A and B are shown apart, each in its own frame.
Chain A
Amino acid sequence: QSALTQPASVSGSPGQSITISCSGTSSDVGSYKFVSWYQQYPGKAPKLMIYEVSKRPSGVSDRFAGSKSGTTASLTISGLRAEDEADYYCCSYAGSSTLIFGGGTKLTVL
């Protein structure tokens, strides 16, 4: 069970859109519609931003959108704001009631 693959870092200017990819395999992302995304600020616990590939929990801005194609999931943040600067992690169900995270992506708002 290897970690899902995310870019180490992405950046964008305020108002722009960015996309963070999360690459898995046919054993995890490719086989299930259970991909979630988390936002984490330094020293804080992660916060659920997206579940079941593209659903947003109550209270999460509609600037955050999730999608999936084959074995790659993506998180798109539109209308970037300074407050979006954080680490982002994807997570996928991997069968047999196990879960696997991505390595994380640091988002810098320029």
Chain B
Amino acid sequence: QLQLRESGPGLVKPSETLSLSCTVSGASISSTSYYWDWIRQPPGKGLEWIASIYYTGTTYYNPSLKSRVTASVDTSKNQFSLKLSSVTAADTAVYYCARHSPVSGSYLWAFDIWGQGALVTVSS
């Protein structure tokens, strides 16, 4: 059974870099059918798509966050990661990893598997 699990520091200081990883279990991150995503949700607010990454390292970013976001993948560890630089209190959120498929025959352009989420608080 495919599972995603986020991990990383729960507290980050303002102006520093937020770093999270997502471990994929039950399937290979090197599947040609899926992209792997980061999505966040500030407390009491809505969802925001942050980034997608393919196992080859191809990335796509939310234009509003692109200047501060870096996504990467480590196929040897079956993990993908997120770095968000110059964080402020506005970046406090639950960060989810998820997957979607751009391939016909799957749940096209929909997030079908999600991690449980990781709360990251930006505070000094």
A residues neighboring B (CB under 8 Å)? 1, 3, 32, 34, 36, 38, 45-48, 51-52, 57, 89, 91, 93, 96-104
User: Closest CB of chain B to A51's CB: distance in Å?
Assistant: 4
- The size of the chain B interface, using a CB distance under 8 A, is 26
Tell which of B46, B61, B100 has the most Cβ of chain A within 10 Å.
Answer: B46
Centre residue among A3, A48, A102, A103 by max chain B CB count within 10 A: A48
Question: Given that A51-B108, A93-B109 are contacting pairs, would A3 and B116 also be in contact in the complex, using a CB cutoff of 8 Å?
Answer: no
Shortest CB-to-CB span from A4 to chain B, Å, is 10
In the bound complex, residues from chain A placing their C-beta under 8 Å from that of B116 are: 45
State how many angstroms separate the Cβ of A93 from the closest Cβ of chain B.
Answer: 5
A91 and B110 contact, Cβ closer than 8 Å, known pairs A1-B63, A45-B116, A98-B60: yes
Chain A hits for B63, CB < 8 A:
1, 98
- Tell me whether A57 and B47 are in contact (CB under 8 A): no
Instruction: Report yes or no: A52 in contact with B108, Cβ–Cβ below 8 A.
Output: yes
Residues on A with beta carbons closer than 8 Å to the beta carbon of B62: 1, 98
A46-B47, A48-B110 given. 19 additional CB < 8 A pairs?
A1-B62, A1-B63, A34-B110, A36-B111, A38-B47, A45-B115, A48-B107, A48-B111, A51-B107, A51-B110, A52-B109, A89-B46, A91-B49, A96-B60, A98-B60, A98-B61, A98-B63, A99-B100, A100-B49
**Complex contact B49–A99 (CB within 8 A):** yes
Q: A52 to B100: give the CA distance in the assembly, Å.
A: 12
Are the C-beta atoms of A52 and B49 separated by less than 8 Å? no
Residue of B nearest to A47 (CB): B114
* Bound: A78/B40 CA distance, A: 30
Q: Is the CB of B102 closer than 8 A to any CB of chain A?
A: yes
Q: A34-B109, A52-B108 are in contact. Are A45 and B47 (CB under 8 A)?
A: no
- The answer on a CB contact under 8 Å between B64 and A34 is no
